[in-house]
A and B are shown apart, each in its own frame.
Chain A
Amino acid sequence: MGSDSSWLRDLGLAWLVARAILFSLLGILLLVAFIVFRRWYRGRYFSRLSQRTVILREQWPDILSGKIPGSAWRLKPLDCQIVEGILLDNIEISEKNQLPPFLACLRNSGLLDLRIREARTSEGWQRRSVLLALGRTRAPEAVPALVEALESSSEETRVAAVRGLGRISLPQAALPLLDLFATDELNVPEHTLKNALLNCCREAPEVLLPYLDRTSGSTRELIARVLGELANSGLGEELLILAADPLPEVRASAARALAKVQPEVSFPVLSTLAVDVEWFVRLRAVIALSSLEHTGKVYVLLRALCDLNRHVRQRAAWTLARMHQGKEDILEKVVATEDNYALQAFLSELERVGSLDAALDGLGNILDRAPGAADVENVAAVVREHFAVPGKNVAVAAAAGKR
């Protein structure tokens, strides 16, 4: 080897290259060794995990009731990990009334306190994992530790804390989020925050209302969007006020929420919102109208069908095509609007729901019974023209149009 080295040194640049080769080969060997070791280690770990899971599952009733004390499994990392996993999975799928035994197990074993302490003292990814696990416990006493993490300088940690609070799904977890957000002290992605608020305020959307009053701009819009998702009939009056808000996003949210309020209260407001200056407010109003049972909505929807915005038109057509009212009547009214885009959108939707032939047959029957009915003849002519097929029978024209 010594003679080899001197031979290489004599080569100058070649010696450098030779060393580079050796390092590269060593690197390859190390990487391969690491891959092999990691696979072997993981195989062994999962095998042990599987064995212990079977054993602990057998003991599950005793672990849950406390007959097997927490100290028997909490101090063994693998056992603790398995039991915690089972507990959190159960908590996640449980109804509120099913929670107490799981929470009692978490509390009595000291696992909850341990995680709360870790959430306060650990750093980096460990802290983030603990924050998410704390959220999954749905235990109210986890809220303060999660709130503390909202002030972390790391965005990832703040996001984990928001997600954790969201998973707690309690109104008291929403309040600190809203407090910080309303004062511009919470810097996390909007989507994460909205989802967290959505989960926490589901049972009590009214907690959002005071924050709507004292915020402005994009903050107010975000809270309004969440409220729009969660609002119930109990919020009727507040929603009427929000429907007149200067911020279009808030009006849109109010429109969305009004779908859940009694029609006699919401219909007049939605009719107004359906002609709002902002297209997405009009769209929201049209969507809300589609779920409302009110005889007057046809006229509002017909107006929306002639909207300049194609999304509003399409949605109005979608609703009209699915109404129980006679399709030929509506078709007649659509033709009367003299708006080709409206007609196109409506016929397209009728075709999608498979009602086009029925509507055209209905028109044809009226024509057969009363050949002189000028209005119906006009409709037939327009539909014929729309499908660009000459012919007397509108049903034939419709069939031709489908080809």
Chain B
Amino acid sequence: MFRFLEISNNSLFIFYLVSNLINLALLIVAIYKNTLHRYRLEGLRLEGIRSSPFTPPISLLVPARNEEMCIVASVRSLLRLDYPQVEVIVVNDASSDRTMEALRDKFALHRSPILYIAEIATAPVVAIYRSFAHPQLLVLDKKSAGCKADAINAGINAASSPYVCVVDADSILEKDSLSRIMAGIISDPDRVVAVGGIVRILNGSIVEGAELKEVRLPRTHIEMLQVIEYLRAFLVGREAWAAFNLLPIISGAFGIFRRDLLLKIGGFRADAVGEDFDLIVRLHRYLHDKGVDYHINFIPDPTCWTEAPSDYSSLARQRARWHKGLLDTLWSTRDMLFRRRYGRVGWIILPYMWLFECLSPLLELLGYTTILLAAVMGVLSQHFFIQFLLFGYAFATLISVGSVLLEEMNYRRYASWREVAWLLIYCLFEHFPYRQFTMVWRLRGIWEYLRGDLSWHQVKRTGASTTAVG
């Protein structure tokens, strides 16, 4: 028993050490990449993209299910985007609230006999509407298949542009975000097949008429911790993985894809729990199978602001669902693991996702248990126990502070000294106790997945967290 506890504790220490060293390496790569990107931005002339007749058109796909609170504001903001040719396709996925009525009232929709060919099989589209006021706005009213992926697929079918951009209905894109994200594609259109932008937390900011007027930090602890978490995930994780063409996920809230490729892989998998992660892994698989030289990129300055859960139960549901999605996708693509054909995807990113993302809550739980057990049984030195926890905490906090540094160096969305100070202070709480909470929620996700509960738990939207705060 003692021997087991010793081995377990040492293994856990090595696990933490390797995890943190990988994160440190990712931080260093991200700092380098962000700096390069900042230099590139200085030479980039968005006006050139906006005014060029060669800039490809984009179809924005907005899946909406019971988004009555935010759909009108969200569509308004999309219609005002600064991009030469944008088609906005809202897919009402059998909402039971007044989503459809709100759209009909505010955008003067009229039924339009547009030819719709279901190149990707979806639940039936009941009607297609076009707006009198905004001819570039199309609304598909469809029956529900019980998943967001099906709604996006219907949007892909209806899209008429070579690129489609998937945006969450509760999100607000910055005006120049499409020009910025397309800069990543038109710099190498033959290789770049998909690009993700950064998703930031809208809670607490001031929004007027569907436009973000002033960026502010949210007020509650839970929202603040998510701000830090998002900064770390996007500015460090995604930026660094994308540098090696190993981006495992493009957020479902904001990503742009080549439509022809989506059609070839059959669109988003309707029965996937985490459809965004699943799509990217399947894209990697398809392009490797075909031997295509490709790049799936992440660009950190095109920004999408989204409302994050503001209460613990919503956040718990969201995280459990994310983890179920992760497990579901990893399980369905387990045949890609350690296969030469899938190169770095099969040898690096998928094993990383298994070990350090999917199984980490289990390993952490095991670790905490054995350490406590060893401490109780007197096998573990109390000094070592405390040091071990401190080490894990301090190293992980270093990465979080690093992500605030990246934000501060390159993007500076939080302008005041006070806000930066708050960001730094909340870095201290991301790894204790917030991480332990997320561990529990993720364990719940694993449990639900193993029980076969793959249902989509709706996250409560207040629609009011975007108002001014003092």
Q: Which residues of A contact B (CB under 8 A)?
A: 11, 13-14, 17-18, 20-21, 24-25, 27-28, 31-32, 34-35, 38-39, 125, 128-129, 132, 156, 159-160, 163, 166, 189-192, 194-195, 198, 225, 229, 310-311, 314, 341, 344-345, 347-348, 351-352, 354, 386, 401-403
Contacts and interface: CB of A to CB of B under 8 A. Distances in A.
Interface string B375-417: 0000001011001101100110110011011001100000001
A189 B114 contact: no
A21 B398 CA distance: 10
Given A17-B384, A35-B424, A351-B113, 13 more contacts: A14-B383, A24-B394, A27-B398, A28-B401, A39-B408, A125-B39, A191-B52, A191-B54, A191-B189, A195-B54, A310-B117, A311-B160, A348-B113
Contacts of A31: 398, 401-402, 404-405
B135 interface: yes
Given A24-B398, A28-B394, A17 B387 contact: yes
7 contacts: A21-B391, A24-B395, A35-B408, A38-B408, A310-B117, A344-B113, A351-B113
A220 B45 CA distance: 26
B115 A310 contact: yes
Contact of A352 (B115, B135, B388, B405): B135
A32 B424 contact: yes
Q: Which 4 A-B pairs have the closest CB atoms?
A: A24-B394, A191-B186, A14-B384, A17-B387
* A17, A229, A354: residue with the most chain B Cβ atoms closer than 10 Å: A17
Given A17-B384, A20-B395, A192-B187, A39 B420 contact: yes
Interface residues of B, number: 48
Nearest to B427: A28
Contacts of A38: 408-409
B220 to A, nearest CB: 24
B42 interface: yes
* Residue of B39, B43, B420 contacting most chain A CB atoms (<10 Å): B43
B391 A195 contact: no
Contacts of B110: 351, 402
Given A20-B395, A24-B394, A132 B43 contact: yes
Contacts of A229: 53-54
Contacts of A132: 42-43
Contact of B405 (A13, A18, A35, A189): A35
* Consensus secondary structure, chain B interface: helix
Interface string B267-308: 000000000000000000000000000000000000000000
Contacts of B383: 11, 14
A192 B48 CA distance: 9
Contacts of B114: 344, 348
B80 interface: no
Interface of B: 10, 13, 17, 39-40, 42-43, 45, 48, 52-55, 110-115, 117, 130, 132, 135, 160, 186-189, 381, 383-384, 387-388, 390-391, 394-395, 397-398, 401-402, 404-405, 408-409, 417, 420, 424
Contacts of B404: 31, 35
B387 A21 contact: yes
Given A190-B189, A198-B52, A311-B160, A39 B398 contact: no
Given A38-B408, A352-B130, A14 B381 contact: yes
Nearest to B408: A35
B391 A17 contact: yes
B418 to A, nearest CB: 12
Contact of A347 (B54, B113, B390, B417): B113
Nearest to A128: B43
Task: Choose among B17, B54, B188 the residue with the greatest number of A CB atoms under 10 Å from its CB.
Answer: B54
A17 B393 CA distance: 12
A198 B55 CA distance: 13
A129 B42 contact: yes
Contacts of A159: 43, 187
A39 B417 contact: yes
A312 B306 CA distance: 38
A24 B115 contact: no
Given A344-B113, A348-B112, A11 B381 contact: yes
Given A21-B390, A35-B424, A163 B401 contact: no
Contacts of A311: 160
A194 B112 contact: no
Nearest to B51: A195
A62 B300 CA distance: 43
B363 to A, nearest CB: 18
A37 to B, nearest CB: 11
A137 to B, nearest CB: 15
B115 A160 contact: no
Contacts of A34: 405
Contact of A20 (B42, B188, B391): B391
Nearest to A343: B113
B113 A14 contact: no
Contact of A225 (B54, B111, B188, B397): B54
Nearest to B131: A352
A28 B187 contact: no
B43 A163 contact: yes
